[in-house]
Amino acid sequence: MSPSPHSPSTPSDSQLLQIVDDALLATAHKSGKWLACAPGCHQCCQGVFAINQLDAARLRHGFEELRATDPDRAARVAGRVTESVARLTRGFPGDAASGILDETPAAEAAFDSFANDEMCPVLDPQTGTCDLYRSRPMTCRVFGPPVRSEDGLGVCELCYHGATEEEIAACEMVPDPNNLEATLLEQFELQTGTRGNTIVAFALKT
């Protein structure tokens, strides 16, 4: 079954999320108290970051579910999204109408310093928790534990205090060892005709 733009709920996508969540669980078990992530800790929710079209579709699907189950909370999310989009439209390094980020070197450089103080509109400021946690983007799912990138093995600055480099490396999280996300994203973009990265606020704007 082909996924709709608002609900990438194919078995393969569910499999991807299960693989990532299992990897996080294993890393958390190895990390113990070094992994300080907990409800109410939301430093990682400050500053915009790029999300792909699978992430955006999951967020929209989760938002539709929230509207059905908790319309008051959904309305608060919608209000924060509207306010965030209004702040971010000016200077957005891409097409503000579609929310798609430009891929030119100049735009990517501009994005590095864009809206670094903007709080994610999905974050409930009263509880410090994510209102769309089950539908959170992949970046949110892997943030905190040691994850390897082009810059090496990175961790959240609030985590792994007192751990040696060797101990941190032993806790490395490999979220998607078979690169399933890239395959699913390519399929999804072909099926929907929408490609390119966006940010959370623009993914949820109406």
Q: What number is the average pLDDT over the span 146-151? A: 88
What ranges do the domains of the chain cover?
11-204
pLDDT in tens, 22-68: 999 999 999 999 999 888 888 899 999 999 999 999 999 999 999 99
Strands 147-149 and 152-154: antiparallel
pLDDT confidence bin for 150, thresholds 50/70/90: confident
Question: 87-113: b or e for each residue (b if 16 or more CB lie within 10 Å)?
Answer: ebeeebbbeeeebbbbeeeeeeebbee
Q: Output the six-digit token pair for 96.
A: 């503000």
The region of weakest confidence among 8-12, 77-81, 184-188 is: 8-12
User: Residue 10's pLDDT band (boundaries 50, 70, 90)?
Assistant: low
Greatest alpha-carbon span in the chain: 48
Q: Tell me the average pLDDT across 62-88.
A: 98
* Percentage of the residues of the chain whose pLDDT score is greater than 70: 95
